[in-house]
Chain A
Amino acid sequence: MLFVELIVKGLAYGCMYAMMAVGLTLVYGLLRILHIAHAGVFALGAYMVVTVANASGSLALGFAVAVVVSGLAGIAIYRLAYQPILHHAAFVPMVVSIGLFIVMQEGFRMIFGAYGIAFDNNPWYVANLGIAGINLTYVEIAMIVVAIVLVVGFGLFAGLTRAGIGWRATVTDPQMATSFGIDPVRVRYLNFLFGSALAGIAGGLVGLLNNYVEPTMGGAVSYKALAIIVLGGLGSVRGTLIASLTLGVVEAFGAVYLADVFDRDAIGFLFLIVVLMVRPQGLLGRK
């Protein structure tokens, strides 16, 4: 039964990675920036959920605030940090992103304190659902459900709506899309709004999962999300989703069977390096 349980737990983590990685891959697909500061947005979302939920007693209100605030933060990041330097070599936005991430992390430390905040009331943290001998907490189930709903919703949006088609056109060929009357800047705003809101939700869910929100919580998750988008073949949403779930499962097994040699974070990256040596373009990337 351990085998099945590890797969299910791995998939739950994979869903959370997917919510982070989709935002990163959208940014990369559009602007070719490794958006490391996404980790800051993730932690911002978690802080919004925990402070609002503790103050008002309503988890739903917490998530609503988190979605709005992290979405707006994403737009602000694009407008203030990335837009002025887009014409420079790829190295420059990446360094800016690292700088921004450090600033955000230190900002949380100053505003919310270095020791982290727990939820006053987190019923999902302990509540367990046992199906056929597999124990899942409600938070893990929520992660799977939320990720599926959001990713399917995004797929429908990209496939069926006018704005979605405009977005896909801009990712494929920005110049051509512009000649057809699509405003590329608006597409970028939409991109950051959606991706960052997703990261905010993921942050809130991870806060619930650990019942703890701290300034550096974005770090490990988003470094792994970066590994995932590389693994998926930078810019490919489908590859990113497959890579997220794969990494979640690989980590779940690795954390049990390789526990004496590597820690959890190392296993994910080891997997990345091995795959890249075999397929330098990523799982689904094109050369």
Chain B
Amino acid sequence: MSSYIASIVSVIGINMILALSLNIISGFCGQVSLGHAAFYGIGAYTAAYLAKLGAPLPVTLLAGTIMAGAIGIVVGLTSLRVRHDFLAVTTMGIGFVFLGFVRKQKWLGGELGISGIPGPGLDPLVYAGLIVLFAAAVIVFSIWLKRSWMGFTFDAVADDEDAARTVGVNVSTYKLTAFGIGTALAGLAGGLYIYFARIILPDTFDFVQSIAILTMVVIGGTGSVWGVVAATIGLTLLPEVSRAAADYRLLIFGAMLMLVMRFSPGGLAGLAALVWRPKANS
């Protein structure tokens, strides 16, 4: 029972870091990304490769985070060239390029991925606690970021890039910063994932995973920290509480995406704001 709880808590924590990291890019800074799972994968592969070589946990986590963030900044450069719909398709493409590359690399295990990853050296429950700690730190960081000067600037870039540029905001720098932070955190989630799963497969980081992350953000309310946190917990627990929901998990995700967009494009946070006027959307 305790290992079951540990695994659910771990999954929720990892999903939360993923959703909040995408929320920084797409929610705060308004840059659509359909390839977020690639950075999750970059973090996971980097950490797994180093862990197999014998590197200790702090080193692998840090390396995964830095690697994903560095590649994320490079990918962010595309957001300076293309916008909106072009960017959505480009980021989707990044996901396929990552997957297509990893699948063909023998030294990364090809289609079979990397298995036999050493454990974290901690009790599963303690390790789950560590993941929760990281997730909590990301929540606090997101709230701080949103209220900071940088958060306001992200908001301006998201609202109207040209207007932001007119009032002297260096749009490029802020976009790259958002991509750097968001993708680095996704890399962290990837690093945390490997010690929990002990095996990684290329397909774990495919387009469906990118969409699953996006689903949590959109249903929670794009840009809202608490909305995304609530949606992540709800959507991760849903298949656990109901057998039917587990069988039709993707169907339910798809239907929820359509219904939420149709009736409350602001997601859960939008609904909450309707119920409790003065807006509670931080």
Contacts and interface: CB of A to CB of B under 8 A. Distances in A.
A261 B88 CA distance: 25
B100 interface: yes
A84 B258 CA distance: 11
A102 B251 contact: yes
Given A81-B258, A102-B254, A276-B78, A90 B211 contact: no
A100 interface: yes
Interface stretch (B91-99, B168-176, B233-241): B91-99
Contact of A94 (B82, B88, B90): B88
A102 B211 contact: yes
B147 interface: no
Contact of B101 (A89, A266, A272): A266
Given A96-B262, A270-B97, A226 B89 contact: yes
Nearest to B253: A102
A253 interface: no
Interface centre among A226, A230, A260 (most CB of B within 10 A): A230
A266 B86 CA distance: 17
A55 interface: no
Interface in A44-98: 81, 84-85, 88-96, 98
Contact of B78 (A90, A223, A277): A277
Interface string B121-165: 000000000000000000000000000000000000000000000
A90 B85 contact: yes
B74 to A, nearest CB: 11
A174 interface: no
A273 B265 CA distance: 30
A88 B270 CA distance: 14
Contact of B96 (A99, A101, A223): A223
B101 A92 contact: no
A249 to B, nearest CB: 18
B159 to A, nearest CB: 11
Nearest to B99: A266
B53 interface: no
Contact of A91 (B32, B86, B254): B32
A263 interface: yes
Contact of B255 (A99, A261, A270, A282): A99
Interface residues of B, number: 37
B258 A280 contact: no
Nearest to B81: A280
Contacts of B99: 263, 265-266
Interface centre among B211, B254, B257 (most CB of A within 10 A): B254
Contacts of B262: 84-85, 96
Contacts of A266: 96-97, 99-101
B261 A99 contact: yes
Nearest to A279: B81
Given A34-B88, A98-B257, A230-B86, A276 B211 contact: no
A273 B74 CA distance: 12
A180 B100 CA distance: 50
Given A32-B85, A34-B88, A230-B85, A273 B93 contact: yes
Interface centre among B81, B86, B90 (most CB of A within 10 A): B86
Contacts of B104: 259-263
A95 B218 contact: yes
Nearest to A261: B104
A171 interface: no
Interface in B189-242: 207, 211, 214, 218, 222
B22 to A, nearest CB: 13
Contact of A262 (B82, B84, B101, B257): B101
Interface of A: 28, 32, 34, 81, 84-85, 88-96, 98-103, 105-107, 110, 219, 223, 226-227, 230, 234, 259-270, 272-273, 276-277, 280, 282
Interface of B: 32, 78, 81-82, 84-86, 88-90, 92-94, 96-97, 99-101, 103-104, 207, 211, 214, 218, 222, 248, 250-251, 253-258, 261-262, 265
15 contacts: A85-B265, A88-B265, A95-B214, A96-B262, A99-B253, A99-B255, A100-B258, A103-B251, A103-B255, A223-B92, A230-B86, A230-B90, A269-B96, A270-B97, A276-B78
Given A34-B89, A234-B86, 7 more contacts: A89-B265, A92-B265, A98-B214, A102-B250, A266-B96, A269-B97, A277-B81
| The 7 residue pairs across chains A and B that have the minimum distance between CB atoms | A266-B100, A99-B257, A102-B254, A269-B93, A103-B254, A106-B251, A99-B258
